[in-house]
Amino acid sequence: MNNPYQNYNPSDVGQINGNIFGLPFNYDSANLIIVPVPWEVTVSYGAGTANAPQRILDASPQLDLFDFDNPDGWKQGIFMMEILQDILDKNKYYRQQAAKIIERLEQGKSLAEAPDLTSLLREINQVCEEVNKWLFDKSQQAINDGKRVAVIGGDHSSPLGYMQSLAKKYSNYGILHIDAHADLRNAYEGFEYSHASIMYNAMKIPQISKLVQVGLRDICQDEVQTINQSNNKIVAYYDPIIKQKLYSGTTWIDLCQEIVSHLPQQVYISFDADGLDPKLCSNTGTPVPGGLELEQAFCLIREVVKSGRKIIGFDVCEVGDAEWDGNVGARIVLKLAYLMDLSQHRE
């Protein structure tokens, strides 16, 4: 059978063909399957990240495909599944319902006050669980088909089902988490699957042995306590401390190598756009001043590969609903796809 890219010129004009980056692959011919999860029901500040998969898809054909780390990385075959209208519709409806709960709590009132919102909260938690199960099934099918998988959210609650499916394949893996927030809250605002609870929920997965967080700078006391009492299962690199070390003469590459040293052999990358300086994704759901430059983040992930560790999957979440944010988000997805592919060939 002919290669799907036999007559494809990666230096040509990007094709608007329905696939991410305009690449000439489908589900069968691709090795990496990207699952879009347009979901942000529990966002507590700025909305719009549910549209990120479409924004990233729209921007992606504008990117050149050459990469200095993995020049032919596109040849692995990358295919993005359809953005489902059904999930978008449910997201729109339940986002409006969740806003009622958030508003009640921000007023310092009980959900049990009239009108009683407790049953609505249960309904929202149930539909979020259903989306997680849908993603678990999609991911599991792709993994069983011999594919690698990545997720584009949505808010940061989006990839939980994928993390759970990876636990069926790997008995031990760690998460490298780039974010302004620790996301270690237990059912934030009552939402069991809140964007602020993704790492709390991930740490319930027995196969996840380590969580290394980088760029944290907007964090509550309980989360700091959770980190401090984790017996080193969670390692945090706070942005102000990172910056102070850099200002004092420590090199970023030395810090990256130290960060990577905490990770096990199998590594999952969870990349929240608000881990970056907000100038790069200013329309992210919860922007925070400070953060990483894009190349700093790429340098860190590059060191994961150089260390001989294997990247087994990734997600990119919280990209804003704007053209520029989509452009940056597409670059993150492409770079992570290439670095994951590179790490697979370093065994």
156 assigned to a ligand binding site: yes
345 assigned to a ligand binding site: no
- What b/e string do you get for 321-341 counting C-beta neighbours within 10 Å, with b at 16 or more? bbeebbbbbbbbbbbbbbbbb
28 assigned to a ligand binding site: no
DSSP summary character for residue 159: T
**Beta-strand relationship, 148-153 and 234-238:** unpaired
Q: Where are the alpha helices (DSSP H) in 107-193?
A: 118-144, 160-169
Amino acid in the structure at residue 290: G
72 assigned to a ligand binding site: no
The residues pairing with 151 across neighbouring beta strands, listed in sequence order, are 35, 315
Report how far residue 337's alpha carbon sits from residue 86's, in angstroms, rounded to the nearest whole number: 27
User: What is the Cβ-side half-sphere exposure of residue 290, based on CA atoms within 13 angstroms?
Assistant: 17
CA dihedral angle for residue 328, residue 59, residue 67, residue 285, rounded to 10 degrees: 20
User: What is the Cβ-side half-sphere exposure of residue 195, based on CA atoms within 13 angstroms?
Assistant: 31
222 assigned to a ligand binding site: no
218 assigned to a ligand binding site: no
Q: Name the binding residues.
A: 156, 179, 181, 183, 272, 274
Instruction: Output the known binding site for Mn(2+).
Output: 156, 179, 181, 183, 272, 274
